[in-house]
Amino acid sequence: MMSIFRLDPVIENLPTDFDALRAEAHAEGYRFVERLAKDWEAGATRFDHDGEALLGAHVDGVLAGIGGLTLDPVVLGALRMRRFYVRPSFRKHGIGRKLVEALLKYPRRVGQVVVVNAARGSSAFWEALGFVPDPREGHTHILHLPSVAAHPD
């Protein structure tokens, strides 16, 4: 049976089943999903500036993962992958990769640098997607994307 996969932009409200994802992240010791919820509710981070986005990944109608892209507060002109989490039962099915690929569409078009502060155990994932270790300025990895305009095909 084929699963139905869907990526949805998160704009007005966090997904309805966000609390289940939040609880699983908390149980694993990941506090950044809790921070996502608090920052969202406070209006501090809404992923609504140019180049920013927050996407929910759904499998058969269930929120399987979430990930966002914001302006980086440290590296001028860079974007930063943030609040990236895939629920344990949905890992190893390409959901994280699909989230990253969707989020990178904009920075790929304009040739922007993207950084990430990889959570414990996720360095290999980010490196498989082209990020290289660069442990400084509040991040662990960096991805230099050439502008599509620089390579017209």
57-67 pLDDT, tens digit each: 999 999 999 99
For 61, the domain range is 5-150
SS3 of 77, please? coil
Kindly state the average pLDDT of the residues 21-31.
97
pLDDT of residue 69: 97
Looking at the 3D structure of the chain, how many domains does it have? 1
Q: Where would I find the beta strands (DSSP E) of the chain?
A: 5-9, 53-59, 62-71, 79-86, 113-116, 132-136, 139-144
pLDDT(149) > 70: no
CATH of the domain at 68: 3.40.630.30
- Residues 92-131 pLDDT 10s: 999 999 999 999 999 999 899 999 999 989 999 999 999 9
Kindly state the average pLDDT of the residues 27-49.
96
Hey, which residues does 58 pair with through a beta bridge? 6, 63
Q: Which one, of 71, 79, 74, lies nearest residue 108 by Cα?
A: 79
CA–CA distance, 92 with 94 (Å, rounded to integer):
6
